[in-house]
Amino acid sequence: MRAALRSPMFCSVESWLERLPQDRFPSLEELNELVGPQVKSGAGMPVAFVDAASAPGEAYESTILRTGRVPTRAENWHDLFNALAWLSFPQTKAVLNRRHCEEMIRVDARSGCRGTARDVLTLFDEGGLIVASSDRRLLEMLRRFQWKSLFWEHRSQVRQRMRFFVFGHAILEKALQPHKAVTAKALLFEVPEGFPGEPLVEQLAEADRLAAQWFSGSEALSSTRALAPLPVLGVPGWADNSASGFYDDAEVFRPGYRDDQGKAGTVGSSP
């Protein structure tokens, strides 16, 4: 497993992984030592990772919102990666937490069902990925499911002008033993020309800001199709994908759906 953690798929959490024990799972105390003052719940409560068995009997998101306490199972990769996502993307995690709870009040209590908005929030929280590119054409290829054109024919441009940051802790868990069909739900952002050359810590901070800003808006929760499907092992360097035939597998690199406007996913811009 430790060898798998050296994959570039873990770039969004690698700085935290380096600070954890290398021969065992971290304790809750060790995780909480990494929590900075900027890591807060959707209601502004300081976040702390606590034993899941001792969590109160209310809804998971409500517990986090009200107390800042994030139920975390011991020696569990899924929960560990969730904790690291809080550290790497504190603004976005706080917005997702707040909006979950708002929707629980607005929709769940009235109709008894989760509703589309919470489905979107859960899809991204578990399976989300942030794509930032200084080349609008590359983002458009991704939106249009032009996988081979993007990842093979424009491979060098992808390496130079696109950055991919895994947000979802379920995707990070799957990346420990990845299989070709793993697909994330991506947010796509056009960023300034110099973004791909910035230090990773600055790229992550900007990706966090952009995603938090997006999920703060009403349009973000209108449909699950606002998130673009992305087969993660197609990203150059994220698998043994250095032969063109890798992208000919139509079961993985599917042409995808089209809506009435011929669009899939969404592209935001960095102001």
Q: For residue range 71-82, what is the model confidence (pLDDT) as tens digits?
A: 999 999 999 999
Per-residue confidence (pLDDT) for residue 243, from 0 to 100 = 96
Q: Which amino acid is at 138?
A: L
Q: Are 129 and 165 in contact (CB under 8 A)?
A: yes
One-letter identity of residue 95: V
What pLDDT, on the 0 to 100 scale, is given for residue 266?
42
Tell me what pLDDT residue 257 has.
57
0.85 cut: is pTM over it?
A: yes
Strands 69-72 and 48-51, by their bridges, are: parallel
Instruction: Say what the pLDDT of residue 109 is.
Output: 55
Q: Which of 142, 144, 147, 138 is nearest to 245 (CA)?
A: 147
Beta bridge partners, 49, equal: 70
Distance, in Å, from the CA atom of 88 to the CA atom of 94, rounded to the nearest integer, reads 12
**Residue 182: both structure tokens together:** 């793993």
Helix axes 90-103, 77-88, angle to 10 degrees: 110
Token pair belonging to 7: 């994959």
CA-angle at 205, arms to 203 and 210, nearest 5°: 95
Q: Are 226 and 124 in contact (CB under 8 A)?
A: no
Tell me what pLDDT residue 262 has: 37
Alpha carbons 42 and 40: distance in angstroms, whole number: 7
For tokens 């995707």, the residue is 171
Given the structure tokens 């992808």, which residue do they identify? 158
Smallest CA-to-CA distance from 97 within 44, 42, 167 is with 42
> Would you say 57 and 109 are in contact if contact means Cβ atoms under 8 Å apart?
no
| Residue in 12, 59, 2, 51 with CA at minimum distance from that of residue 31 | 51
Give the residue ranges of the chain where pLDDT is below 70.
1, 107-112, 257-271
